[in-house]
Amino acid sequence: MSAASPALSVDTLTTEIRSRGTWYQAVRAVSFQVHARETVALVGESGCGKSLTALSIMGLLPLGVGRIAGGAIALDGEAVSGRSDAQMEKIRGNRIGMVFQEPMTSLNPVLSVGFQIAEPLIYHRGLSRRAAEARAIELMHLVRIPSAAERVGAYPHQFSGGMRQRVMIALALACAPKVLIADEPTTALDVTIQAQVLALIAGLQKSADLAVLLITHNLGVVASVADRVLVMYGGDVVESAAVRDLFARPTHPYTSALLAAMPRADRSSAVIAPIPGQVPTLADMPAGCRFQSRCPLREERCAQRPSLTAIDAAGTHQVRCWVRGGASS
């Protein structure tokens, strides 16, 4: 890891969502950094704030429904939070790219994939349509889409799910950004295609010095590709650690529950323990520790929010828990 400024820095990011006239904190003071050639994973159940964190970074919060209420976001040490939509349009797809969850709904069904890959090159790099489409073919080769020159004029519905995901990756990397956000890049893909997509991202990461923020609920994917992991629940980071430390010493009750609920080849399905209940809605989110309503270790002090506290000498393994983390108020 380079000692230079991180490619992406998020400092105490707080994002609010409006529901029925009331603003609720959906992401609470989240902080992390991602360096070149590093993969940081955000994990947790649906509704825990992972994708909302990514949309906040990209400046894509829905107008009037979502807003950044606090914190700072920086790319290569340069602050980008608080910029206007026009300014963010110059950054998105240029300095930071994003692979969205569902390529079939993220790609325009009435435009060819080549047209869509070429579009950011025309907008950000000033290339002509012909030059941009030639570069689109090169990018399709780069992400290993066979017969790229023949398929550049094809439409999204003419590609398989795995190939559409490759198109999305080509689109996100068209302008050679330094940061790539991959939001559930393997969702709905079979395990063979999942492995191919992950290997593709890893290879491109090394060749282009990419910093990758991976958003997923699949802990198997995390174990295979991530360097560091942030476990999110109810908009809070409840545990943060190097990937090996997290799997060797899961400390927060939610992290332990996620691992216990994960199917594994080395144990019987009978030992899989589902997490009781579900993530509360923002309107029903408890004060203090947001996991308390589902936590088997709940105590009275959990009604107060614990801090994210280091549990190792290096300070790299942090836990937000009164019982297991030694948190202070």
Query: Does a structural domain hold residue 14?
Result: yes
Both 119 and 254 in a single domain?
Answer: no
Confidence bin at 256 (pLDDT 50/70/90): very high
Domain boundary among 176, 198, 233: 176
Both 81 and 215 in a single domain?
Answer: yes
CA atoms within 13 A on the CB side of 75: 21
Confidence bin at 291 (pLDDT 50/70/90): very high
pLDDT of residue 101: 82
Per the CB < 8 A criterion, the answer to whether 176 and 116 are in contact is: no
Residue 251: its H or E element:
none
- The one-letter amino acid code at 160 reads S
Range of the structural domain that residue 171 is part of? 96-176
Confidence bin at 268 (pLDDT 50/70/90): low
pLDDT of residue 104: 75
pLDDT of residue 2: 44
Both 78 and 100 in a single domain?
Answer: no
pLDDT at 3 over 60: no
pLDDT at 174 over 80: yes
Both 104 and 155 in a single domain?
Answer: yes
Query: Does a structural domain hold residue 195?
Result: no
Both 125 and 65 in a single domain?
Answer: no
Q: In sequence order, which ranges of 261-312 are alpha helices (DSSP H)? A: none
Both 110 and 154 in a single domain?
Answer: yes
Confidence bin at 217 (pLDDT 50/70/90): confident
CATH number at residue 230: 3.40.50.300
pLDDT at 261 over 90: no
pLDDT of residue 234: 95
Query: Does a structural domain hold residue 104?
Result: yes
**For residue 267, how many other CB atoms are within 10 A of its CB?**
10
**For residue 107, how many other CB atoms are within 10 A of its CB?**
20
pLDDT at 190 over 90: no
3-class secondary-structure state, position 283: helix
Confidence bin at 326 (pLDDT 50/70/90): low
pLDDT at 329 over 80: no
Beta 39-43 vs 211-216: how paired, if at all? parallel
Closest Cα partner for 170 from 242, 121, 117, 130? 117
Query: Does a structural domain hold residue 201?
Result: no
- The one-letter amino acid code at 297 reads L
Helix 161-172 with 113-125: angle, nearest 10 deg: 10
Residue 130 vs residues 46, 107, 126, 176, 191: alpha-carbon distances, Å:
42, 21, 12, 19, 37
pLDDT at 328 over 90: no
pLDDT of residue 327: 57
pLDDT at 1 over 60: no
Query: Does a structural domain hold residue 91?
Result: no
Query: Does a structural domain hold residue 258?
Result: yes
Query: Does a structural domain hold residue 213?
Result: yes
Closest Cα partner for 39 from 206, 255, 172, 189? 206
Domain boundary among 135, 153, 176: 176
Indicate the average pLDDT of the chain. Answer: 92
Strands (E), the chain: 8-19, 22-34, 39-43, 66-75, 78-79, 96-99, 179-183, 211-216, 228-233, 236-242, 309-310, 318-319
Mean pLDDT on 119-133: 96
- The one-letter amino acid code at 84 reads S
pLDDT tens digits, 60-101: 999 899 999 999 999 999 999 989 999 999 999 999 999 988
Both 68 and 18 in a single domain?
Answer: yes
pLDDT of residue 103: 74
Closest Cα partner for 60 from 19, 91, 38? 91
Token pair, residue 13, equals 């990011």
Beta 22-34 vs 8-19: how paired, if at all? antiparallel
Number of domains in the chain: 2
Both 153 and 240 in a single domain?
Answer: no
Both 22 and 111 in a single domain?
Answer: no
pLDDT tens digits, 44-56: 999 999 999 999 9
Both 3 and 72 in a single domain?
Answer: yes
Mean pLDDT on 293-313: 94
Token pair, residue 92, equals 């998105």
Both 111 and 156 in a single domain?
Answer: yes
Both 79 and 218 in a single domain?
Answer: yes
